[in-house]
C-alpha cells in the first residue's frame, strides 16, 4: 500500500489514484501542500474565529450554531502517519463541540475528545468531523482515516475515533455506534479496511453516516444497530487512471422530497468538474445523479425554497497530467436552484469544511479548516432563487 502511494507522488505512474488510504487522509487531514487562494469573500463576514481545525456545523432547535472542532492533537503518544513523507502524528484530547450564540459568544460545550495532528504543521489526521441534530439531541461524528485496527495502540480515548456519539444538551455523551468497527467487519465498499466517518444526517429512528474511507453510507438505528445503507458506484476512469475512480462520498443531507443527497469528493487528483451530487432513495434502493459538474465536494445543504448549496474544497486538476496540481484548499460555494444550473456564490475559501443554512436563511460555513488556531465561521447573506 505504501509503495503504491510513493510511486504515485514521486513518479506519477499510471496507477489508480483513489487508494483507500489516500482518500481518507485527504478528506480529513488535507495533508497535501495547498495552493494559495485568492480571497474574494464578497459579502461573507466572520462571526467566530480562533477555532481549532473546524469541520461540520449545524443549528440546534433554539437557533444556536454548533461547530465540530477536530482539535490540535497533543503531546502523544505519536506514531508515523500512513501518508509517506508526513512524519509523526501525535495524540491529544483537544477536540470539541463549540456553541455560537446570536450575540457572538462562543463556548465549548463538549471538550476532551481525541485528536490526531501532524507534528510538523498541525494538520489533522483524526478527530471530530461533524455535528447533527435531531430535536435537542446532537450526534457527533468522529473521523479516523486508515485501518480501524490501528486505533487501539494509541490508548486514551482512541476507541472514539471512527465512532458516532450521541450528545445531550448538557454535553454528556455516549457511543451510539462504532462505524470503523463496522468497516473492519463488513467492508461494504471493498478494498483494504479503511474508515473515516465524516458527515451525518439525523432522521426519525435512524442516522445515516457517510464514510468516505469506506466508500459507503451506514445506517445507524436509534438502538445503535448498524447496516450498510448504500454503496455509490465507481466512477469512469480518466487518463492516466483508466481502471475507474472511487466516488468518495463526503456529505449527506435530506432533500425536500425525502430522498438523501450525497456529495462526492472523488479521488486524487480531483479532476475539475467530475464530482456529482447523488440522489439516493430514502430506503437506499436506488442511486441516481441529481447534479454534476462540481469539484471535490465536502458538504451540502438545502434552503427552505428547495435550492441546493454545494461546498467545494479544491480547484481540481485540469488536463494534461502530470504534473498534479489539484489546488487543495481553494474552495467555492455554489447553488443549484430548482430546475436550474449551478451558479457560483462565493470563491476564495480556504479549506472550507462545513456548511449550514441558518434560521435567518443565510449560509454559514467553516473556513480555514486546516488551521489548529485560526479556523473561523463565515456568514453569507443569501438572496432567493429567481
* 236-266 pLDDT tens trace: 988 777 888 899 999 999 999 999 999 999 9
How far apart (Å, rounded) are the C-alpha atoms in residues 191 and 16? Answer: 13
Largest interatomic CA distance in the chain: 55
How far apart (Å, rounded) are the C-alpha atoms in residues 53 and 368? Answer: 7
**What phi and psi, each to the nearest 5 degrees, are found at residue 183?**
-60, -45
Give the residue-averaged pLDDT of 96-113. 93
Instruction: Give the neighbor-by-neighbor strand order of the sheet with 260-264.
Output: 249-254, 260-264, 275-280, 287-294
Break the chain into its structural domains and give their ranges.
2-34+41-380
Of 89 and 233, the structure prediction assigns the larger pLDDT to 233
What DSSP string runs through 257-272? TS-EEEEE--STT-BT
pLDDT score at 319: 72
* 167-207 pLDDT tens trace: 999 999 999 999 999 999 999 999 999 999 999 999 999 99
**Angle at CA of residue 157, ends 32 and 85, nearest 5°:** 20
Instruction: Indicate whether 225 pLDDT > 70.
Output: yes
Write the CB contacts of 48 (distance below 8 Å, at least 6 apart in sequence): 67, 98, 100, 104, 106, 376, 377
Residue 122 pLDDT grade (very low, low, confident, very high; cuts 50, 70, 90): confident
Write the CB contacts of 92 (distance below 8 Å, at least 6 apart in sequence): 71, 72, 73, 74, 75, 76, 114, 115, 116, 117
Give the residue-averaged pLDDT of 129-158. 94
How far apart (Å, rounded) are the C-alpha atoms in residues 347 and 38? Answer: 8
Give the residue-averaged pLDDT of 111-127. 91
Give the residue-averaged pLDDT of 217-228. 97
42-51, 126-135, 286-295: range with lowest mean pLDDT: 42-51
Name the CATH architecture for the domain at 2-34+41-380: 6 Propeller (2.120)
Give the residue-averaged pLDDT of 144-153. 90
Amino acid at each position: 500500500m505504501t509503495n503504491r502511494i510513493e510511486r504515485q507522488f514521486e513518479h506519477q505512474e499510471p496507477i489508480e489514484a483513489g487508494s483507500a488510504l489516500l482518500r481518507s487522509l485527504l478528506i480529513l487531514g488535507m495533508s497535501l501542500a495547498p495552493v494559495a487562494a485568492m480571497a474574494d469573500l464578497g459579502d461573507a463576514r466572520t462571526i467566530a474565529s480562533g477555532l481549532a481545525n473546524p469541520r461540520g456545523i449545524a443549528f440546534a432547535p433554539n437557533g444556536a450554531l454548533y461547530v465540530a472542532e477536530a482539535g490540535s492533537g497533543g503531546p502523544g503518544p505519536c506514531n508515523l502517519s500512513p501518508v509517506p513523507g508526513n512524519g509523526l502524528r501525535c495524540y491529544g484530547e483537544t477536540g470539541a463541540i463549540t456553541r455560537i450564540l446570536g450575540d457572538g459568544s462562543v463556548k465549548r460545550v463538549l471538550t476532551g475528545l481525541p485528536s490526531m495532528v501532524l507534528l510538523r504543521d498541525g494538520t489533522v489526521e483524526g478527530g471530530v468531523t461533524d455535528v447533527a441534530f435531531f430535536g435537542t439531541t446532537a450526534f457527533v461524528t468522529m473521523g479516523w482515516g486508515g485501518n480501524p485496527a490501528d486505533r487501539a495502540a494509541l490508548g486514551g480515548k482512541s476507541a472514539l475515533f471512527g465512532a458516532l456519539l450521541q450528545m445531550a444538551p448538557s454535553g454528556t455523551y455516549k457511543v451510539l455506534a462504532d462505524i470503523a468497527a463496522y468497516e473492519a467487519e463488513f467492508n461494504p465498499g471493498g478494498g483494504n479496511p479503511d474508515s473515516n466517518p465524516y458527515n451525518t444526517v439525523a432522521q426519525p429512528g435512524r442516522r445515516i453516516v457517510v464514510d468516505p474511507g469506506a466508500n459507503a453510507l451506514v445506517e445507524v438505528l436509534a438502538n445503535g444497530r448498524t447496516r450498510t445503507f448504500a454503496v455509490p458506484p465507481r466512477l469512469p476512469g480518466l487518463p492516466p487512471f483508466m481502471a475507474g475512480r472511487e466516488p468518495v462520498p463526503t456529505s449527506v443531507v435530506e432533500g425536500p422530497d425525502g430522498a438523501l443527497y450525497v456529495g462526492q469528493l472523488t479521488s486524487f487528483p480531483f479532476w475539475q468538474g467530475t464530482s456529482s451530487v447523488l440522489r439516493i432513495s430514502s430506503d437506499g434502493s436506488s442511486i441516481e445523479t441529481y447534479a454534476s459538474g462540481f469539484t471535490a465536494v465536502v458538504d451540502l445543504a438545502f434552503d427552505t425554497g428547495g435550492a441546493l448549496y454545494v461546498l467545494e474544497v479544491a480547484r481540481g486538476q485540469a488536463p494534461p497530467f502530470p504534473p498534479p496540481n489539484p489546488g487543495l484548499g481553494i474552495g467555492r460555494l455554489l447553488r443549484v436552484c430548482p430546475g436550474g444550473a449551478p451558479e457560483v456564490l462565493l470563491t476564495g475559501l480556504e479549506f472550507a469544511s462545513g456548511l449550514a443554512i441558518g434560521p435567518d436563511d443565510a449560509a454559514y460555513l467553516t473556513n480555514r479548516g486546516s488551521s489548529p488556531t485560526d479556523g473561523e465561521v463565515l456568514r453569507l447573506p443569501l438572496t432567493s432563487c429567481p
